[in-house]
Structure 1
Amino acid sequence: MDILLWLVPSAVVTVLAMLWVAWWGREGRGDVDRETAVRRMGEALSRPAQPGVVVRRPPRERSTGVAVRAPRDRAS
């Protein structure tokens, strides 16, 4: 147990740093009142969609769970 005592100072410093960062980060959020948030969301939703933003994915091949090898050309 005495061997683990050297971990105590680093654990205390780590916990204090975590608490300080959590407290420091809370003040920088810039709370917005409800009406402003609703207005901003309404403006964002009313904007026309930009062309080229839609990403089309090729249709996914359905997996059957069975491995199928490609046929070999047999020249005999």
Structure 2
Amino acid sequence: MEVLLWLAPAVVVTVLAMAWVSWVGRDGHGEVDRDVAVERMGRALGKELPAGTRRTSAPARDRSTGIAVRPSHTRRP
């Protein structure tokens, strides 16, 4: 346990730095005008998607059992 005590100052400084950066980096420090936020969201939702991008549903999930099984017979034409 004594060996790990030298890590305590580094951990404290790191946590304090992370908290300070997260607080300073916030936009507006929690003050968001509701009307402006609604307008921004409306613009973002109404924006056209770039060409080649399309909305699709999630791909069908493969029902794998995790066991490799060889087919017992092969089809011949």
What TM-score, normalized by structure 1, do the two folds share?
Answer: 0.57
The corresponding residue for 1:16 is 13
- CA distance in 2 between counterparts of 1:50 and 1:16 reads 44
RMSD across aligned positions (CA):
3.5
Displacement after TM superposition at 1:68 (Å) = 5.9
Displacement after TM superposition at 1:11 (Å) = 2.0
| Number of residue-to-residue matches in the alignment | 70
What percent of counterpart residues are identical?
29
The corresponding residue for 1:26 is 23
Instruction: Render the CA deviation track for 1:3-39: whole Å, top value 9, x for unaligned.
Output: x213112123212211222122211121243222211
Aligned AA (1:69):
P
Aligned AA (2:71):
R
> Secondary structure of the equivalent of 1:69?
coil
What TM-score, normalized by structure 2, do the two folds share?
Answer: 0.57
> Secondary structure of the equivalent of 2:73?
coil
Which runs of no fewer than 5 residues in structure 1 stay unpaired?
none
Structure number with greater CO (CA < 8 Å, separation at least 6) is 2
Instruction: Render the CA deviation track for 1:48-69: whole Å, top value 9, x for unaligned.
Output: 3444212657x74764859461
The corresponding residue for 1:6 is 3
The corresponding residue for 2:54 is 54
Which runs of no fewer than 5 residues in structure 2 stay unpaired?
none
